[in-house]
Structure 1
Protein backbone atom coordinates (compact mmCIF):
# COMPACT_ATOMS: atom_id res chain seq x y z
CA UNK A 1 0.00 0.00 0.00
CA UNK A 2 3.07 2.25 0.11
CA UNK A 3 2.43 3.56 -3.41
CA UNK A 4 -0.93 5.00 -2.24
CA UNK A 5 0.59 6.92 0.66
CA UNK A 6 1.22 10.67 0.44
CA UNK A 7 3.38 11.97 3.27
CA UNK A 8 3.72 15.46 1.79
CA UNK A 9 3.48 18.11 4.49
CA UNK A 10 3.40 21.80 3.67
CA UNK A 11 5.58 24.47 5.26
CA UNK A 12 4.30 27.63 6.91
CA UNK A 13 5.63 29.57 3.92
CA UNK A 14 3.61 27.40 1.52
CA UNK A 15 0.51 27.74 3.70
CA UNK A 16 0.90 31.52 3.69
CA UNK A 17 1.30 31.50 -0.10
CA UNK A 18 -1.94 29.53 -0.52
CA UNK A 19 -3.73 31.99 1.74
CA UNK A 20 -2.36 34.88 -0.32
CA UNK A 21 -3.62 33.30 -3.56
CA UNK A 22 -7.03 32.73 -1.97
CA UNK A 23 -7.36 36.30 -0.75
CA UNK A 24 -5.99 37.73 -4.01
CA UNK A 25 -8.54 36.00 -6.24
CA UNK A 26 -10.66 38.50 -8.15
CA UNK A 27 -13.58 38.53 -10.59
CA UNK A 28 -12.00 40.20 -13.64
CA UNK A 29 -14.23 42.18 -16.02
CA UNK A 30 -13.90 43.06 -19.70
CA UNK A 31 -12.34 46.49 -19.24
CA UNK A 32 -9.31 44.86 -17.61
CA UNK A 33 -8.47 42.08 -20.10
CA UNK A 34 -5.47 42.35 -22.41
CA UNK A 35 -5.63 41.00 -26.00
CA UNK A 36 -2.60 38.74 -25.48
CA UNK A 37 -3.68 35.12 -26.10
CA UNK A 38 -3.25 32.45 -23.44
CA UNK A 39 -0.72 29.73 -24.13
CA UNK A 40 -2.11 26.21 -24.53
CA UNK A 41 -0.05 24.96 -21.60
CA UNK A 42 -1.56 27.69 -19.41
CA UNK A 43 -5.09 26.77 -20.50
CA UNK A 44 -4.38 23.09 -19.86
CA UNK A 45 -3.01 23.82 -16.38
CA UNK A 46 -6.14 25.76 -15.47
CA UNK A 47 -8.45 22.99 -16.69
CA UNK A 48 -6.34 20.31 -14.99
CA UNK A 49 -6.81 22.24 -11.75
CA UNK A 50 -10.54 21.79 -12.29
CA UNK A 51 -10.05 18.08 -12.77
CA UNK A 52 -8.37 17.93 -9.34
CA UNK A 53 -11.53 19.15 -7.59
CA UNK A 54 -13.49 16.87 -5.27
CA UNK A 55 -16.61 15.33 -6.77
CA UNK A 56 -19.45 13.44 -5.14
CA UNK A 57 -18.95 9.69 -5.49
CA UNK A 58 -15.87 10.40 -7.67
CA UNK A 59 -18.43 11.10 -10.40
CA UNK A 60 -16.39 13.89 -12.06
CA UNK A 61 -19.59 15.30 -13.63
CA UNK A 62 -17.99 18.08 -15.67
CA UNK A 63 -17.18 19.04 -19.22
CA UNK A 64 -15.41 22.18 -20.45
CA UNK A 65 -16.12 23.93 -23.75
CA UNK A 66 -13.12 26.09 -24.70
CA UNK A 67 -14.27 29.04 -26.82
CA UNK A 68 -12.02 31.30 -28.91
CA UNK A 69 -14.25 31.77 -31.96
CA UNK A 70 -15.36 35.41 -32.31
CA UNK A 71 -18.78 34.49 -33.77
CA UNK A 72 -19.56 32.18 -30.86
CA UNK A 73 -18.58 34.89 -28.37
CA UNK A 74 -20.80 37.40 -30.19
CA UNK A 75 -23.79 35.06 -29.95
CA UNK A 76 -23.19 34.54 -26.22
CA UNK A 77 -22.79 38.29 -25.71
CA UNK A 78 -26.24 38.81 -27.24
CA UNK A 79 -27.74 36.67 -24.47
CA UNK A 80 -25.88 38.72 -21.88
CA UNK A 81 -27.19 42.01 -23.28
CA UNK A 82 -30.77 40.74 -23.16
CA UNK A 83 -30.48 39.34 -19.63
CA UNK A 84 -28.57 42.38 -18.39
CA UNK A 85 -31.49 44.66 -19.27
CA UNK A 86 -33.79 42.38 -17.29
CA UNK A 87 -31.34 42.40 -14.39
CA UNK A 88 -31.14 46.17 -14.26
CA UNK A 89 -34.93 46.39 -14.05
CA UNK A 90 -34.86 44.35 -10.81
CA UNK A 91 -33.13 47.20 -8.96
CA UNK A 92 -34.49 50.62 -8.11
CA UNK A 93 -33.26 54.21 -7.86
CA UNK A 94 -29.57 54.57 -6.88
CA UNK A 95 -28.99 50.83 -6.95
CA UNK A 96 -30.22 50.68 -10.54
CA UNK A 97 -27.98 53.59 -11.51
CA UNK A 98 -25.01 51.87 -9.90
CA UNK A 99 -25.89 48.62 -11.68
CA UNK A 100 -25.95 50.31 -15.08
CA UNK A 101 -22.47 51.72 -14.52
CA UNK A 102 -20.94 48.33 -13.75
CA UNK A 103 -18.99 46.34 -16.34
CA UNK A 104 -20.29 42.85 -15.61
CA UNK A 105 -18.62 40.66 -18.24
CA UNK A 106 -15.73 40.35 -20.66
CA UNK A 107 -17.10 37.88 -23.17
CA UNK A 108 -15.71 39.57 -26.28
CA UNK A 109 -12.71 41.27 -24.68
CA UNK A 110 -11.28 38.14 -23.05
CA UNK A 111 -9.10 36.05 -25.39
CA UNK A 112 -10.68 32.87 -24.03
CA UNK A 113 -14.10 31.79 -22.76
CA UNK A 114 -14.82 28.46 -21.08
CA UNK A 115 -18.35 27.12 -20.58
CA UNK A 116 -18.45 24.58 -17.74
CA UNK A 117 -21.23 22.00 -17.85
CA UNK A 118 -22.68 19.57 -15.35
CA UNK A 119 -23.15 16.17 -16.99
CA UNK A 120 -25.45 14.05 -14.82
CA UNK A 121 -25.24 10.27 -14.81
CA UNK A 122 -28.19 8.02 -15.73
CA UNK A 123 -27.63 5.89 -12.64
CA UNK A 124 -27.43 6.43 -8.86
CA UNK A 125 -24.30 8.29 -7.71
CA UNK A 126 -22.66 7.50 -4.39
CA UNK A 127 -23.30 10.37 -1.98
CA UNK A 128 -25.85 12.07 -4.24
CA UNK A 129 -28.95 10.02 -3.47
CA UNK A 130 -30.10 12.28 -0.60
CA UNK A 131 -28.77 15.60 -1.92
CA UNK A 132 -29.19 15.59 -5.71
CA UNK A 133 -27.51 18.99 -6.12
CA UNK A 134 -24.17 17.58 -4.94
CA UNK A 135 -23.23 16.89 -8.57
CA UNK A 136 -23.70 20.56 -9.43
CA UNK A 137 -21.77 21.59 -6.33
CA UNK A 138 -18.92 19.37 -7.49
CA UNK A 139 -18.73 21.35 -10.73
CA UNK A 140 -18.61 24.58 -8.71
CA UNK A 141 -15.64 23.15 -6.81
CA UNK A 142 -13.92 22.56 -10.16
CA UNK A 143 -14.54 26.17 -11.17
CA UNK A 144 -13.10 27.45 -7.89
CA UNK A 145 -9.97 25.34 -8.47
CA UNK A 146 -9.66 26.83 -11.95
CA UNK A 147 -10.08 30.35 -10.55
CA UNK A 148 -7.31 29.86 -8.01
CA UNK A 149 -4.93 28.26 -10.51
CA UNK A 150 -5.60 31.09 -12.95
CA UNK A 151 -4.77 33.65 -10.27
CA UNK A 152 -1.54 31.82 -9.40
CA UNK A 153 -0.61 32.02 -13.11
CA UNK A 154 -1.40 35.77 -13.13
CA UNK A 155 -4.38 35.14 -15.41
CA UNK A 156 -7.63 37.02 -14.87
CA UNK A 157 -10.89 35.10 -14.69
CA UNK A 158 -14.45 36.39 -14.57
CA UNK A 159 -17.60 34.31 -14.02
CA UNK A 160 -20.57 35.58 -16.06
CA UNK A 161 -23.92 34.60 -14.54
CA UNK A 162 -26.13 37.09 -16.39
CA UNK A 163 -26.94 34.68 -19.21
CA UNK A 164 -29.83 32.52 -20.34
CA UNK A 165 -28.37 29.02 -19.88
CA UNK A 166 -30.65 27.49 -22.50
CA UNK A 167 -29.60 30.03 -25.11
CA UNK A 168 -25.96 29.39 -24.29
CA UNK A 169 -26.57 25.66 -24.69
CA UNK A 170 -28.18 26.28 -28.07
CA UNK A 171 -25.26 28.41 -29.28
CA UNK A 172 -22.77 25.76 -28.15
CA UNK A 173 -24.93 22.86 -29.45
CA UNK A 174 -24.66 21.22 -26.04
CA UNK A 175 -26.43 17.88 -25.42
CA UNK A 176 -29.90 18.07 -23.93
CA UNK A 177 -28.92 16.63 -20.53
CA UNK A 178 -25.98 19.02 -20.05
CA UNK A 179 -26.55 21.87 -17.60
CA UNK A 180 -24.57 25.10 -17.77
CA UNK A 181 -23.01 25.87 -14.39
CA UNK A 182 -20.42 28.50 -15.23
CA UNK A 183 -19.44 30.72 -18.13
CA UNK A 184 -15.89 31.96 -17.61
CA UNK A 185 -13.87 34.69 -19.30
CA UNK A 186 -10.09 34.33 -19.09
CA UNK A 187 -7.08 36.35 -20.13
CA UNK A 188 -4.11 38.33 -18.95
CA UNK A 189 -5.08 41.56 -17.23
CA UNK A 190 -3.65 45.00 -16.68
CA UNK A 191 -4.85 45.07 -13.07
CA UNK A 192 -5.85 42.88 -10.15
CA UNK A 193 -7.75 45.02 -7.64
CA UNK A 194 -6.60 45.03 -4.02
CA UNK A 195 -10.20 44.24 -2.98
CA UNK A 196 -13.21 42.81 -4.82
CA UNK A 197 -14.42 45.44 -7.29
CA UNK A 198 -17.98 45.44 -5.90
CA UNK A 199 -16.57 46.07 -2.43
CA UNK A 200 -14.50 48.97 -3.75
CA UNK A 201 -17.56 50.41 -5.47
CA UNK A 202 -19.59 49.95 -2.27
CA UNK A 203 -22.19 47.67 -3.86
CA UNK A 204 -22.15 45.80 -0.55
CA UNK A 205 -19.92 45.39 2.49
CA UNK A 206 -17.64 42.47 3.28
CA UNK A 207 -18.89 40.16 6.04
CA UNK A 208 -16.61 39.44 8.98
CA UNK A 209 -15.95 36.04 10.54
CA UNK A 210 -18.08 36.66 13.60
CA UNK A 211 -21.07 37.57 11.40
CA UNK A 212 -21.26 34.21 9.65
CA UNK A 213 -20.02 31.57 12.13
CA UNK A 214 -22.58 29.80 14.37
CA UNK A 215 -21.42 27.30 16.96
CA UNK A 216 -23.27 24.04 17.52
CA UNK A 217 -26.75 25.21 16.44
CA UNK A 218 -28.87 28.24 15.68
CA UNK A 219 -30.40 29.73 18.82
Structure 2
Protein backbone atom coordinates (compact mmCIF):
# COMPACT_ATOMS: atom_id res chain seq x y z
CA UNK A 1 0.00 0.00 0.00
CA UNK A 2 1.57 3.34 -1.00
CA UNK A 3 2.31 5.84 1.74
CA UNK A 4 0.69 9.28 2.01
CA UNK A 5 1.83 12.09 -0.30
CA UNK A 6 4.82 14.03 0.97
CA UNK A 7 2.60 17.05 1.53
CA UNK A 8 0.51 15.02 3.98
CA UNK A 9 3.56 14.08 6.01
CA UNK A 10 4.97 17.59 6.39
CA UNK A 11 5.82 18.90 9.84
CA UNK A 12 5.71 22.47 8.62
CA UNK A 13 2.64 24.40 9.83
CA UNK A 14 0.25 26.13 7.39
CA UNK A 15 1.50 29.30 5.73
CA UNK A 16 -0.51 31.76 7.83
CA UNK A 17 0.50 30.03 11.08
CA UNK A 18 4.16 30.07 10.11
CA UNK A 19 3.99 33.74 9.14
CA UNK A 20 2.36 34.68 12.45
CA UNK A 21 5.02 32.86 14.46
CA UNK A 22 7.78 34.54 12.50
CA UNK A 23 6.36 38.06 12.79
CA UNK A 24 5.54 37.57 16.46
CA UNK A 25 9.08 36.34 17.14
CA UNK A 26 10.50 39.40 15.36
CA UNK A 27 8.50 41.71 17.59
CA UNK A 28 9.21 39.89 20.85
CA UNK A 29 12.91 39.62 20.02
CA UNK A 30 13.22 43.33 19.24
CA UNK A 31 15.93 44.80 21.47
CA UNK A 32 15.14 48.06 23.26
CA UNK A 33 16.98 50.19 25.77
CA UNK A 34 15.92 49.62 29.35
CA UNK A 35 14.71 52.98 30.71
CA UNK A 36 17.21 54.44 33.17
CA UNK A 37 19.92 52.09 31.93
CA UNK A 38 22.25 51.68 28.99
CA UNK A 39 21.45 47.99 28.92
CA UNK A 40 19.29 46.48 26.20
CA UNK A 41 16.61 43.87 26.56
CA UNK A 42 14.29 42.02 24.23
CA UNK A 43 10.73 43.32 24.41
CA UNK A 44 9.34 39.88 25.13
CA UNK A 45 11.75 39.20 27.98
CA UNK A 46 10.36 41.76 30.40
CA UNK A 47 8.69 39.94 33.26
CA UNK A 48 6.00 42.45 34.23
CA UNK A 49 3.92 44.46 31.82
CA UNK A 50 0.64 45.26 30.11
CA UNK A 51 -0.20 44.28 26.55
CA UNK A 52 -2.96 45.18 24.13
CA UNK A 53 -4.14 43.65 20.87
CA UNK A 54 -5.50 45.70 17.96
CA UNK A 55 -7.51 44.55 14.95
CA UNK A 56 -7.09 45.43 11.26
CA UNK A 57 -8.77 48.79 11.82
CA UNK A 58 -6.31 49.57 14.65
CA UNK A 59 -9.21 49.20 17.10
CA UNK A 60 -8.22 47.91 20.57
CA UNK A 61 -9.81 44.51 21.13
CA UNK A 62 -8.12 43.12 24.24
CA UNK A 63 -6.00 44.32 27.16
CA UNK A 64 -4.13 42.06 29.56
CA UNK A 65 -1.32 41.90 32.07
CA UNK A 66 1.48 39.49 32.87
CA UNK A 67 3.87 38.85 35.72
CA UNK A 68 5.40 35.73 34.19
CA UNK A 69 6.96 37.27 31.04
CA UNK A 70 5.49 39.25 28.19
CA UNK A 71 6.71 36.70 25.65
CA UNK A 72 5.12 33.77 27.45
CA UNK A 73 1.75 35.41 27.93
CA UNK A 74 1.35 36.77 24.41
CA UNK A 75 2.45 33.52 22.78
CA UNK A 76 -0.06 31.66 24.90
CA UNK A 77 -2.82 33.84 23.44
CA UNK A 78 -1.74 33.81 19.81
CA UNK A 79 0.07 30.53 19.19
CA UNK A 80 -0.71 28.04 21.94
CA UNK A 81 -4.23 29.52 22.30
CA UNK A 82 -4.56 28.14 25.81
CA UNK A 83 -6.10 31.10 27.56
CA UNK A 84 -9.63 31.61 28.83
CA UNK A 85 -10.08 34.55 26.45
CA UNK A 86 -9.40 32.39 23.41
CA UNK A 87 -11.15 29.28 24.72
CA UNK A 88 -14.32 31.27 25.46
CA UNK A 89 -14.23 32.97 22.04
CA UNK A 90 -13.77 36.37 23.64
CA UNK A 91 -10.57 36.86 21.64
CA UNK A 92 -10.03 35.58 18.12
CA UNK A 93 -6.26 35.44 17.36
CA UNK A 94 -7.17 35.74 13.66
CA UNK A 95 -8.22 39.36 14.29
CA UNK A 96 -4.97 40.48 15.92
CA UNK A 97 -3.03 42.75 13.57
CA UNK A 98 -0.92 44.81 15.95
CA UNK A 99 0.38 44.47 19.49
CA UNK A 100 1.41 47.17 21.95
CA UNK A 101 3.22 46.41 25.20
CA UNK A 102 4.06 48.54 28.24
CA UNK A 103 6.90 46.84 30.17
CA UNK A 104 7.62 47.66 33.81
CA UNK A 105 11.40 47.29 34.05
CA UNK A 106 11.46 48.62 37.62
CA UNK A 107 9.71 45.44 38.71
CA UNK A 108 12.23 43.08 37.14
CA UNK A 109 13.40 40.45 39.58
CA UNK A 110 10.34 40.74 41.80
CA UNK A 111 8.51 37.59 42.73
CA UNK A 112 5.36 37.06 40.67
CA UNK A 113 3.41 36.97 43.95
CA UNK A 114 4.87 40.23 45.26
CA UNK A 115 1.85 42.19 46.57
CA UNK A 116 3.28 45.66 45.88
CA UNK A 117 4.27 44.72 42.34
CA UNK A 118 0.82 43.29 41.73
CA UNK A 119 -0.84 46.53 42.83
CA UNK A 120 1.29 48.53 40.39
CA UNK A 121 0.49 46.08 37.60
CA UNK A 122 -3.24 46.25 38.35
CA UNK A 123 -3.21 50.05 38.43
CA UNK A 124 -1.41 50.28 35.10
CA UNK A 125 -3.72 47.75 33.47
CA UNK A 126 -6.77 49.75 34.58
CA UNK A 127 -5.38 53.04 33.25
CA UNK A 128 -4.44 51.57 29.88
CA UNK A 129 -7.74 49.73 29.61
CA UNK A 130 -9.73 52.92 30.24
CA UNK A 131 -7.51 54.92 27.87
CA UNK A 132 -7.88 52.46 25.00
CA UNK A 133 -11.58 51.99 25.62
CA UNK A 134 -12.12 55.74 25.32
CA UNK A 135 -10.03 55.84 22.13
CA UNK A 136 -12.10 53.03 20.61
CA UNK A 137 -14.77 53.91 18.05
CA UNK A 138 -17.13 51.65 19.98
CA UNK A 139 -16.10 52.85 23.46
CA UNK A 140 -15.61 49.19 24.28
CA UNK A 141 -12.99 46.45 24.45
CA UNK A 142 -13.71 42.73 24.24
CA UNK A 143 -12.42 41.88 27.72
CA UNK A 144 -14.96 39.88 29.68
CA UNK A 145 -13.97 41.63 32.91
CA UNK A 146 -13.05 45.26 33.36
CA UNK A 147 -9.96 45.69 35.55
CA UNK A 148 -10.78 46.88 39.05
CA UNK A 149 -10.30 50.58 39.74
CA UNK A 150 -7.19 51.10 41.93
CA UNK A 151 -6.89 53.62 44.73
CA UNK A 152 -3.84 55.26 43.16
CA UNK A 153 -2.47 56.11 39.71
CA UNK A 154 0.86 55.19 38.16
CA UNK A 155 2.78 56.84 35.36
CA UNK A 156 2.16 55.09 32.06
CA UNK A 157 5.58 53.92 30.81
CA UNK A 158 6.96 53.97 27.29
CA UNK A 159 5.32 51.41 25.02
CA UNK A 160 6.46 49.37 22.04
CA UNK A 161 4.31 48.47 19.04
CA UNK A 162 4.65 45.76 16.46
CA UNK A 163 2.63 44.44 13.52
CA UNK A 164 2.39 40.65 13.67
CA UNK A 165 0.83 40.11 10.24
CA UNK A 166 2.97 39.88 7.11
CA UNK A 167 1.98 41.65 3.89
CA UNK A 168 1.03 38.30 2.36
CA UNK A 169 -1.27 37.35 5.25
CA UNK A 170 -2.68 40.88 5.34
CA UNK A 171 -3.73 40.52 1.70
CA UNK A 172 -5.61 37.33 2.61
CA UNK A 173 -7.24 38.42 5.85
CA UNK A 174 -7.96 42.10 5.31
CA UNK A 175 -10.71 41.57 2.73
CA UNK A 176 -13.90 42.80 4.45
CA UNK A 177 -15.93 39.73 3.48
CA UNK A 178 -13.33 37.44 5.07
CA UNK A 179 -13.34 39.53 8.22
CA UNK A 180 -17.15 39.63 8.35
CA UNK A 181 -17.37 35.86 8.01
CA UNK A 182 -14.76 35.30 10.69
CA UNK A 183 -16.33 37.79 13.08
CA UNK A 184 -19.78 36.27 12.56
CA UNK A 185 -18.36 32.82 13.30
CA UNK A 186 -16.74 34.04 16.53
CA UNK A 187 -19.99 35.75 17.54
CA UNK A 188 -21.93 32.54 16.91
CA UNK A 189 -19.55 30.41 18.98
CA UNK A 190 -19.62 32.89 21.83
CA UNK A 191 -23.43 32.96 21.76
CA UNK A 192 -23.45 29.15 21.84
CA UNK A 193 -21.21 29.12 24.92
CA UNK A 194 -23.50 31.61 26.66
CA UNK A 195 -26.56 29.50 25.83
CA UNK A 196 -25.00 26.42 27.41
CA UNK A 197 -23.66 27.95 30.61
CA UNK A 198 -24.61 30.24 33.43
CA UNK A 199 -22.39 33.20 32.66
CA UNK A 200 -21.70 36.57 34.23
CA UNK A 201 -22.86 39.89 32.79
CA UNK A 202 -19.36 40.61 31.47
CA UNK A 203 -19.53 37.86 28.87
CA UNK A 204 -22.89 39.15 27.66
CA UNK A 205 -21.31 42.60 27.30
CA UNK A 206 -18.60 41.00 25.19
CA UNK A 207 -21.29 39.41 23.01
CA UNK A 208 -22.91 42.81 22.52
CA UNK A 209 -19.56 44.40 21.65
CA UNK A 210 -18.85 41.67 19.10
CA UNK A 211 -22.29 42.13 17.57
CA UNK A 212 -21.72 45.89 17.37
CA UNK A 213 -18.36 45.36 15.70
CA UNK A 214 -19.88 42.92 13.22
CA UNK A 215 -22.69 45.28 12.33
CA UNK A 216 -20.30 48.23 11.89
CA UNK A 217 -18.06 46.28 9.54
CA UNK A 218 -21.02 44.92 7.57
CA UNK A 219 -22.55 48.39 7.19
CA UNK A 220 -19.20 49.82 6.14
CA UNK A 221 -18.84 47.11 3.52
CA UNK A 222 -22.31 47.78 2.12
CA UNK A 223 -21.75 51.56 2.00
CA UNK A 224 -18.46 51.03 0.22
CA UNK A 225 -20.10 48.93 -2.50
CA UNK A 226 -22.98 51.38 -2.89
CA UNK A 227 -20.65 54.38 -3.16
CA UNK A 228 -18.51 52.59 -5.74
CA UNK A 229 -21.57 51.69 -7.78
CA UNK A 230 -22.82 55.27 -7.58
CA UNK A 231 -19.52 56.65 -8.88
CA UNK A 232 -19.58 54.20 -11.76
CA UNK A 233 -23.21 54.99 -12.54
CA UNK A 234 -24.28 51.40 -12.02
CA UNK A 235 -26.79 49.71 -9.80
CA UNK A 236 -25.39 48.19 -6.58
CA UNK A 237 -24.83 44.45 -6.91
CA UNK A 238 -27.63 42.26 -5.61
Q: TM-score, normalised by structure 2?
A: 0.25
Where relative contact order (Cα < 8 A, 6+ residues apart) is larger, the structure is: 1
Compare CA radii of gyration and give the structure with the larger one: 2
More helix by share: 2
Q: TM-score, normalised by structure 1?
A: 0.27
